[in-house]
Amino acid sequence: MRNAAVRSRAYYSDPIEDFYRRSPDAIVGVMAQALPFPLERTQRDAWVEQVEVLRKALEGYGGRGKLYFEFAVPRLGKRIDVLAIIDHVLFVIEFKAGESEFSAGAVDQVCDYALDLKNFHETSHDRPIAPVVVATGAEQGDDPITCAWDHDRVLRPIRSTVAAFADVLARVLSSCEGPAIDVDIWEAGRYCPTPTIVEAALALYGGHAVEEISRSDASAINLSETSAAIAEIIRTARSKSHKSICFVTGVPGAGKTLVGLNIATQHIDKANELYSVFLSGNGPLVKILREALARDAVRRAAERGEVKRKGVARSEVKLFIQNVHNFRDECLLDRDRPPIEHVALFDEAQRAWDREKTAMFMRQKRGHSDFDQSESAYLISCLDRHEDWAVVICLVGGGQEIHTGEAGIGEWIRSLDASFPDWDVHISSRLKDAEYTAGGALALLDNRDGVSWNDKLHLAVSMRSFRAEHVSELVKCLLDQEEAEARKVMAQISDRYPIVLTRDLNAAKGWLRQRARGSERYGIVVSSQAQRLKPHAIDVRVTVDPVHWFLDGKEDVRSSYYLEDVATEFDIQGLELDWACVVWDGDFRYGAPDWQHFSFVGDRWNRIRKAERQVYQKNAYRVLLTRARQGMVIVVPPGSADDPTRLPEFYDPTFGYLAGLGLERI
C-alpha cells in the first residue's frame, strides 16, 4: 500500500528496462492523464524532450533502477521533473527546456528538491542524492564536471548539457560508494515533512491534506489528530445548535498556526455554513501569508495556461485570512448583525488586548467613546450574534506575550464567565501549565457546565526545527538560567542543530552563507530594544517590509538574504528562518540571580523595573532564539571602552554565560 502511495505521487514511474519498452507517446499519454488540467503543447514537447534525453543517457542501465516523472513534493507545492534511482544514487533532475543558461533560480530549485528528500523522506536520509540541472539549449555546462559532496551526502548541484548528461551520471556514480538502493524499500519510506508556515499555507491552499505536509513519526504529535478533534467540536456545535469555544495549546513551533490554517482552508466557500476565517493580530504574518498565497495562485494559473491578476488573487485570499483588528472593525459597522463566518480561529489568542488598551484604541482611533470591553470579550460577542451555532478556536502560545496591553488567555476565560454562560468550553489539558499564565482564571470554570478537558488539544513537540525537537526546551532553560539542564540539552542537540557563538558580526554572516544551500532562508534578527547596534550597521528604528524580507529572493536588497535589513520580534513572531543570526544587545544582560533589563532612552540605558515589561523583554529573546529551523549563530558584540553606551561590561557577562553552556565559538 505504501509503495502504491509513493508511486501515485508521480505522474509516471517505471523500472528503467520498462521505460525503454514503452514508446515516448505512451509515456507522455500516461502523464497527460494524470495532469489535473488540459495538456498544453509546450508541456507535451518538454516531456517528449525529457524522454528522448533520458533514453540516450540511460543506455546500458536497464535493471539498475527506476524512473519517476513529475514526482510531487507537497511541502514545496511543486514537482520534480525526474527522480531517478540508479544503483546506489538518487538523482534529482530538473530539465530547463530550450534554455541556454543555468539560472541561479534553477540551481537553487533542484538543490531544494534534493534537500527536501534528504531531510524529510526517511529512506532517502542515508542515501547519496545528486541534483542535476539540464539546460537543453546550453552548449556548455560544468566543465570540468566536479562532484562535491556535502557532509550529509547531498551533491552540490551539477549543471549539465544534453551532450554531457550521460557522462555526468557516470561520474556521479563513480564518485561515491554504497549499496544499491532497493526500490521497494525506498518506496515504502514515509515522507515526513516539517514545512515552514508559508510552505504549509501554500500546500494547504493548493489542496494538500495536513497529513501530507506534517510529520507522522512517533516522536511528534500528529497534527491531524488535533485537527480532527477541532473538526468534531465544530460538527457537534453545528448539529446541536450549540456555541463552543476551544483552547488549543502548544510549545513554540508546534504547529498551532498550521492547525488553524488547515481548518480555514477546508472551509473557504462563503456559501457554505462551515465557512471559516483565520484571524491574527500578527500584522506581518497576515501580510506575508496573503502575499505568498496570492503569488502562488498567479503562478499556478500560469502553469495551467491561464492569466490571473495578483489583485484578484489577493482579494480571494483576504476572505479567509484576516487581521483580527479589521475583523473587529467590520463587526462594529452593524452591532447586531452576525459575521458571515460561523467559525473563527484566533491565532496567538493570548495576545488579544485587555479592556484598557482596547477601550483606549476604540476611543482614540475609532471614535467609540462608550466602548468598554476587552478584545476577547468583544470577539466572542460577535460570534454570539448567531442565533443557531458558532465556534471560536483560540490558538494559545506559551511565553509569547511581547507587547503591553496583551491580556493573556485568562481574559478569555473571565469573559466567558462574565458574559457567556451558555457556551461550551473545550480546553487543552495543558492550559493549567504556568507558561500559559491562565492563573486563577481557570478556577472560574470549576463549577461551570459544558467544560471538557482534552489532551488532543495540546501540541507538545516543536516541529519548527526538524533537526532538533528540543530547541525550545534549550531556550527555556537558557532564559531561566537553568545552566546544568541547558548544558545537558545542548549536548543532546549539538550534532544535529548547530548553535555557534561569536563576537564578530562579519564572521556570523559568513557562517550563515556557508551553511545555507539552495533557497534555504537566512537572516539577522534582533530585539526591538537593541538601540546600540548602530555601530554594526543595525538600526532597529528602520522599518523593514516583512513581505520583501521573507518572500523575495537573493537578488533583492530588501530580502533577508542580503543581511542588511534586520527583523525584530514583532516582525518575525510566528514565522521561521532556516538559519538565523541573533545579535544580542545590552538591553538584556546576564546577571545573577536573574537577567538585567534595560531600555535605551535619549543617550543612556535605563533600568526596566516593571515586572510586566521585564516579561515582555524576556519573551522577545525567546521569540528570537526559537526562529531557526536548522541552526543559528549568536553574536554578542565586544562593546567599546570608549563608548559609555556600549561598555564591554554590558556584553561580556552574557557572552561568558552562553559560552559556558557549551556553544561552539567561531
Please check whether residue 505 is in contact with residue 566, taking contact to mean a CB–CB distance below 8 angstroms.
no
Domain-terminating residue out of 171, 188, 205: 188
Cell numbers given for 396:
494559545
Residues 335 and 363 in one domain: yes
Of 129, 135, 126, whose CA–CA distance to 185 is shortest?
A: 126
Provide the pLDDT for residue 219: 40
Measured CA to CA, the distance from residue 332 to residue 330 in angstroms comes to 5
Of 351, 372, 376, 352, whose CA–CA distance to 362 is shortest?
A: 372
Residues 537 and 582 in one domain: yes
Number of domains the chain contains: 3
Provide the pLDDT for residue 409: 87
Whether 209 maps to a domain, the answer reads: no
**Dihedral sign of CA atoms 96, 100, 105, 107 in order:** positive
Residues 426 and 479 in one domain: no
Query: 452: number of CA atoms within 13 Å, CB side?
Result: 14
Residue burial 113-127, b: 16+ Cβ < 10 Å; e: rest: bbbbbbbbbebbeeb
DSSP state, 636? -
Q: At 491, which helix (H) or strand (E)?
A: helix 483-493
Provide the pLDDT for residue 333: 84
Residues 555 and 430 in one domain: no
Residues 399 and 534 in one domain: no
pTM of the full structure: 0.83
Measured CA to CA, the distance from residue 511 to residue 580 in angstroms comes to 10
Residues 428 and 514 in one domain: no
10-residue averages of pLDDT along the chain (666 residues): 58 96 95 90 94 95 95 85 97 95 94 94 94 94 87 95 95 95 93 81 78 55 80 94 94 79 81 84 91 90 85 87 88 87 91 86 84 91 95 83 69 93 94 78 91 90 67 92 94 91 98 96 97 96 94 95 96 91 98 94 95 91 93 97 97 97 94
Whether 617 maps to a domain, the answer reads: yes
Name the residue type at position 123.
T
Whether 204 maps to a domain, the answer reads: no
Domain-terminating residue out of 428, 459, 490: 459
Whether 651 maps to a domain, the answer reads: yes
Crossing angle of helices 611-625 and 471-479, in 10° steps, is 150
Provide the pLDDT for residue 436: 74
Cell numbers given for 498:
548547530
Whether 299 maps to a domain, the answer reads: no
Cα-based angle 558, 560, 566 (whole degrees, multiple of 5): 90
Provide the pLDDT for residue 2: 41
Provide the pLDDT for residue 573: 84
Whether 584 maps to a domain, the answer reads: yes
Measured CA to CA, the distance from residue 346 to residue 394 in angstroms comes to 5
Whether 269 maps to a domain, the answer reads: yes
CATH classification at residue 75: 3.40.1350
- The alpha-helical segments, DSSP class H, found in 494-576 are 505-515, 546-551, 569-572
Residues 120 and 9 in one domain: yes
Residues 240 and 134 in one domain: no
Please check whether residue 320 is in contact with residue 326, taking contact to mean a CB–CB distance below 8 angstroms.
no
Q: Which residues span the domain enclosing 539?
A: 471-665
Residues 389 and 520 in one domain: no
Query: 563: number of CA atoms within 13 Å, CB side?
Result: 17
Residue with cell string 529512506: 123
Residues 57 and 134 in one domain: yes
Provide the pLDDT for residue 78: 85
Residues 239 and 115 in one domain: no
Residues 415 and 512 in one domain: no
Residue burial 497-512, b: 16+ Cβ < 10 Å; e: rest: bbbbbbbebeebbebb
Whether 154 maps to a domain, the answer reads: yes
Residues in the chain: 666
